[in-house]
Structure 1
Amino acid sequence: MATVSGHTIAGVPGRFVLGARTNHLVTDSRLGPGEAVQAGELFLSALASCAMANFEATAHELGVPLTGISVDAQHRRGTEDPTRYDFTRLTITVRGVEQRDADALGARFVATCPIYNTIRRGGGVDLAVVAA
């Protein structure tokens, strides 16, 4: 099970420190200083990172001569409903392979990536709010 924790930074509204294992990351909210990565960008980063890792591992497993991967991930905050994104778009460019191999890598990604499939199919979220 993966776990991430977050905490506010005293005196800096909209700025947070996230921790995952022994790694720490400073983030900003949309209303914060705007210098650090924001939550929506982290969401896209998780998708892009999963795509690159998946394509690279699958190419190695299948013996496909992949020489590079580029990923562009985009979304737009909802115009009708700002509590969700109107779209999430992922463009993966692979170098060193024929299109049929690129298609096979894409099919494996779609079949196995939990981040992609949670976005695609929607996933449940449990929420607990605790006053301390």
Structure 2
Amino acid sequence: MNSIHIRLADWQKDNAELRRIRESVFIAEQAVPPELEWDADDAEALHFLVYEGDYPIGTARLLPDGHIGRVSVLKDWRGLNVGDALLRAVLTEAEKRGLQQQMLSAQVQATPFYERLGFAIVSGEYLDAGIPHVDMVRNSQ
């Protein structure tokens, strides 16, 4: 893998790439209904794009209240620390913006990943789009 880089994305300008990644991961792979994937939060969220070279391979979003969501890395790039780099960039940006607490709804199978980045489970398990999730919170130092 060549080096990756992460940048803030613009929901309007980068819409095709953001949608391509999220459609591949959530709609095609995980069978999330499209009407649940797209919401009004996208317009106000801060979006991130991860690139390998000039090819977008992952995305995430940060809401103004500190909620992180839609964390997705294309299948061929999983297990290569792309998600780790992406989440660290989101957390750094959240802290820069004064968001001392970050929250997310994690798929249960991904909780060890988030725990390594300082998140703790704060809810019982529940279904979101038919996938088991838990709420997780991280407080900045």
RCO higher in 1 or 2 (8 Å CA, sep ≥ 6)? 2
Structure whose residues are more often strand by fraction: 2
Bin for the TM-score computed over the shorter chain: under 0.3
- The structure that has the greater radius of gyration is 1
Q: Could you state the TM-score of these two structures normalised by the residue count of structure 2?
A: 0.25
Q: Could you state the TM-score of these two structures normalised by the residue count of structure 1?
A: 0.26
